[in-house]
Structure 1
Amino acid sequence: MGRKTHPRIQRAKGQIAIVALRLIGALPFVINRALATIIGVIVARLPTQALKVSKTNLALCYPALSDAKRAQLARESLIESIKNTFEIALFWRRPAQGLQRVAAVDGDAPLRQAVADGKPIMILAPHLGCWEVLNFWLATEFGLHAMFAPSGLPEVDNLVRSGREHFGSTMYPTTARGVAGLVRAMKKGALTAILPDQVPDRRSGRHVPFYGHPAYTGTLACKLIRQTGAVTFMAWARRLPGTQGYEIRIRPADTAIADDDLDNALAGMNHSIEQLIDESPNQYLWSYKRFRRPPPGSDTPY
């Protein structure tokens, strides 16, 4: 059992986080982006743990790149991550501004057809670009049913939920009851979105290849797809240069994702994630320890 944080400390953390998020969220978008870029450039040049993890992940996933190119990609990714932190602080507080920044949409015709046909839809949205803007767009265009995992900081959770539910999204807790409710909605033709590249707990995943290396991968998305017969798409909100906004990109998932063999389905999901990341690797969250739970007998690369 891990040590529990004292309730007063938790409350203090939540209050500090809320103050910081509100201060950032009060900035106009142009200043928000400029400040995030400046801070990102500074942070990307410091010998932080985030930079170290990013370089380790990139060495595993892009071995053909030179050391210099991987180092540059790691720095660019950290800058984009800082931009993401700043922009979602603004958009949680003022969701309409995030939606208004959608400047283009690419590849949405098959998705719209599937929705028109009344089929359940699964959107897989990895930690790429600005996933909150994607949430807003999906909720506005089609209605969105999604799961919500509390952070342990109630003040922050309330802010996040109010932002995500602003456009009418239906949120489900990450519990057995929540999953059952989501399944019922999907079987009636609902559209849902899941982050497919998080490391799950030890009872909810399997090791399958991700860029050629075993990564502990959550099984929930593939099980829901198989259980509901959902049509599956990959999606992300690409951050455009400067303050131009975002481009929503929709791509078909690998057909193997619906395979009855769970390992094959998970491999198809990870392959789909790889293809999406390859569109703009600098906007992926490489500082996340994706390989932190290796197979038995193997060491963590971190």
Structure 2
Amino acid sequence: MTTIPSAHSRRAGAVAWLWRRLAGWPLARLWRLARLAGALVYRLSRREREVTRRNLAAVYPELDAKSRRALTRRSLHHSAATMLELGHAWMAPPERVAAGIVAVRGRDKLDSARQEGRGVIVLAPHFGNWEVLNFWLSSHFPFTAMYEPPKMAALDPVIRHGRERQGAALVPTNARGVAALLKALKRHEAIGILPDQEPGWGSGVFAPFFHRDAYTATLLSKLVARTRARVVTGVALRVPGQGFEIHFLDADQRVYSAEEVTSATGVNASVEAAIALDPAQYQWEYKRYRKVVQEQQGRPDYRDFRLY
């Protein structure tokens, strides 16, 4: 009996096929294609365009309308490039991916921490191409990161293989995964944390992100409290048409605070410092301010913010 693939399976197969084809393209050609794809997203995807525009209006109120439109276009261009480069990061020969990393800045922060017998927590925001950052980290250090399977389940083996192929250990986004992160840090290894993804209710606190409260995970403060880990911010900055520069930046000192709001404020300040390298390379189409606090009769009322 012949099994007919579901619509989800066919869609996943088409996406994986596209990644495999694009994995053979040079980065300069992918960047040119991203220019076209980004322009189409700007023109045809109201959701992506409007969320990006509103986020930029919130964090850069000093920009005039013309500058904001230009930054929105550049941001969507970079976001399109990231999606098109996934095949490169996950499927291209490792030596070719490594050759596309044209510089590594701040590696000494990781090396010195491990020499001191300390683990390293890498804050990896959605900036540049974070899959290239994963590739580099797992190629040079024992590296553990949390992983949540994609909504399109048929893509799970493709994504998992791409992220694990250089030796990264992927752990679930639950208590078992947190325990694995702690064990890795106690072995003086490196782990990755997504600092700019909204957690579920009860797993975060409100802390300022570009002077506006954003619901921010408290996992980092829990990990720091139980280890002597050093915290750095890591990004793969795109050098359009040429490759990527890996940057490791010292985290804001407030991340080491035992007080959760203070620590979360330090996390967000660390992300802001990375964004300053090139604001267009941050994924502004993510609804970072989705959750808000309303004061009603002196008591906070937490809710989802869905105006855009």
TM-score, normalized by length of structure 1?
0.91
1:51 Cα offset (Å): 0.9
The alpha-carbon distance between structure 1 residues 32 and 294, as it changes in their structure 2 partners (threshold 3 A), is same
Consecutive unaligned residues in structure 1, runs of 5 or more: 1-6
CA distance in 2, matches of 1:295, 1:89: 40
Q: Which moved more, 1:223-232 or 1:75-84?
A: 223-232
Q: Which residue of 2 aligns with 1:31?
A: 29
* Contact 2:41/2:48 (<8 A) preserved: no
* Contact 2:127/2:281 (<8 A) preserved: yes
3-state SS in 2 of match to 1:268: helix
1:69 Cα offset (Å): 0.9
| Correspondence 1:142-153 to 2 at 5 A | 142-153=141-152
Q: Deviations over 1:27-60 (max 9, x none)?
A: 3444333222222233334462111101100011
1:195 Cα offset (Å): 1.2
Q: Which residue of 2 aligns with 1:284?
A: 282
Q: Which residue of 2 aligns with 1:88?
A: 86
Q: Which residue of 2 aligns with 1:256?
A: 254
Q: Which residue of 2 aligns with 1:274?
A: 272
CA distance in 1, matches of 2:250, 2:90: 28
Q: Deviations over 1:52-89 (max 9, x none)?
A: 10110001101111121111111100000000100112
Work out which of the residue numbers 15, 18, 42 in structure 1 matches 2:16: 18
Does 2:191 correspond to 1:192? yes
Q: Deviations over 1:91-119 (max 9, x none)?
A: 21125132221001122222221122221
CA distance in 1, matches of 2:45, 2:210: 26
CA distance in 2, matches of 1:222, 1:70: 34
The alpha-carbon distance between structure 1 residues 47 and 10, as it changes in their structure 2 partners (threshold 3 A), is closer
Q: Which moved more, 1:98-107 or 1:290-299?
A: 290-299
Does 2:76 correspond to 1:78? yes
CA distance in 1, matches of 2:191, 2:164: 14
| Correspondence 1:36-185 to 2 at 5 A | 36-46=34-44, 48-94=46-92, 96=94, 97-185=96-184
CA distance in 1, matches of 2:180, 2:110: 23
Q: Match for 2:165: what amino acid?
A: H
Q: Deviations over 1:116-150 (max 9, x none)?
A: 22211100010001111111111112221111111
CA distance in 1, matches of 2:267, 2:31: 32
* Contact 1:95/1:136 (<8 A) preserved: no
* Contact 1:145/1:193 (<8 A) preserved: yes
1:293 Cα offset (Å): 1.4
* Contact 1:95/1:163 (<8 A) preserved: no
Q: Match for 2:226: what amino acid?
A: Q
* Contact 1:222/1:265 (<8 A) preserved: yes
3-state SS in 1 of match to 2:206: strand
Q: Deviations over 1:173-221 (max 9, x none)?
A: 1121121122112112111011110011112111111111111111112
* Contact 1:197/1:217 (<8 A) preserved: yes
Q: Deviations over 1:238-287 (max 9, x none)?
A: 10032x11111111001110101111000111011111111210000011
* Contact 2:124/2:235 (<8 A) preserved: yes
Q: Match for 2:164: what amino acid?
A: E
What is the count of residue pairs matched by the alignment?
A: 295
Q: Which residue of 2 aligns with 1:4?
A: none
CA distance in 2, matches of 1:294, 1:21: 37
Consecutive unaligned residues in structure 2, runs of 5 or more: 295-300
3-state SS in 2 of match to 1:79: helix
CA distance in 1, matches of 2:221, 2:306: 25
1:156 Cα offset (Å): 1.3
CA distance in 1, matches of 2:63, 2:28: 34
Q: Match for 1:146: what amino acid?
A: A
Q: Which residue of 1 aligns with 2:298?
A: none
